[in-house]
Amino acid sequence: MRLWNLKKDNSLSEKVYQRIYKRIISGTLKGGDKITEASISSSMGISRAPVREALKRLSEDHLVVLVPRSGCFIALLSKEEVEEIYEIRKRLECMALEYAFEKLDINEVRDLKNEFQKCLDPA
């Protein structure tokens, strides 16, 4: 499952994808919820084609399930899948911190600390 699939793309289908993706990740849309092309296109004021493309991509990412002649449903994640997602995120965040600390310039940190302190102590 890919949870990092947000792109710097300004196409309508990308905007729809990002909006639905964020609503799924935030829990606004819950597993089993039904979503329709018509309601999404209407709420965004766009045609159904970019919505269809976004839903197809979300389906490829296993975030929604497209059921022929029934509609589109938010995927249900098992406890194991949720645990796996959090474990991967934990490891990625630790790696990001390690990388950042390797590139850290202690003089820049001191300068930032001094600037921060100036903000706290307006003289």
What's the pLDDT tens digit per position in 12-61? Answer: 999 999 999 999 988 899 999 999 999 999 999 999 999 999 999 999 99
pLDDT at 50: 96
In the chain, domain spans: 12-74, 79-120
> Whats the size of the chain, residue-wise?
123
Tokens of 33: 């919820």
**This prediction's pTM:** 0.62
CATH architecture of 12-74: Orthogonal Bundle (1.10)
Class of residue 26 by CB neighbours under 10 A (exposed 0-12, middle 13-18, buried 19+): exposed
Class of residue 107 by CB neighbours under 10 A (exposed 0-12, middle 13-18, buried 19+): exposed
Residue 91 phi, psi (nearest 5): -65, -40
